[in-house]
Structures are given as C-alpha cells and as structure tokens.
Amino acid sequence: MVIILADTAIRAKDIDEAAALQAKVKAEEALEDKSGKMDYGQAQAQLAQAMMQLKMLDRLRKRNK
C-alpha cells in the first residue's frame, strides 16, 4: 500500500513550463526585493513550487528519451 500526503497534486501533463519559469523568475525577484512588498515566506513557497514543477518536467523528459 502507498500513502501520499500532499497539500497539492498536479498531473505532469498539466504543468505549463512557461508559467513555471515565469513564476520562478517572479519569486526570485520578490526574494531580492527588500522593500517588503511581498512576504518572504510566500516568495520562498512560490519559488519552491516552481522549482519542483520544472524538476518534474525534466525528469519526465529524461524518462521518455
């Protein structure tokens, strides 16, 4: 038996690479912005999510070669 606990689940076929790259860049910019316009924790979470989506796409591409 396999049990997976997660806050969200995304099918690999539903991941939009362009959107993930854009989210990554936006989160990195927010982390560099010292004005406090965005919550640091929120920016970190968004960056982690975008990075995981990109990592998943990379794994799928390697598997399908």
Tell me, what amino acid is at 11?
A: R
All domains in the chain, ordered by first residue: 12-63 (1.20.5)
The proportion of the chain whose per-residue pLDDT surpasses 90, expressed as a percent, equals 32
pLDDT in tens, 41-51: 888 999 999 99
* pTM: predicted TM-score of the whole model, two decimal places: 0.74
With the C-alpha atoms ordered 43, 45, 49, 51, is the resulting torsion angle positive or negative?
A: positive
Compute φ and ψ for 38, nearest 5 degrees. -125, 145
pLDDT in tens, 14-30: 888 999 999 999 999 98
The one-character DSSP state at 38 is S
- At 2 the pLDDT is 80
Burial label for 53, CB within 10 Å (0-12, 13-18, 19+), is: buried
- At 39 the pLDDT is 84
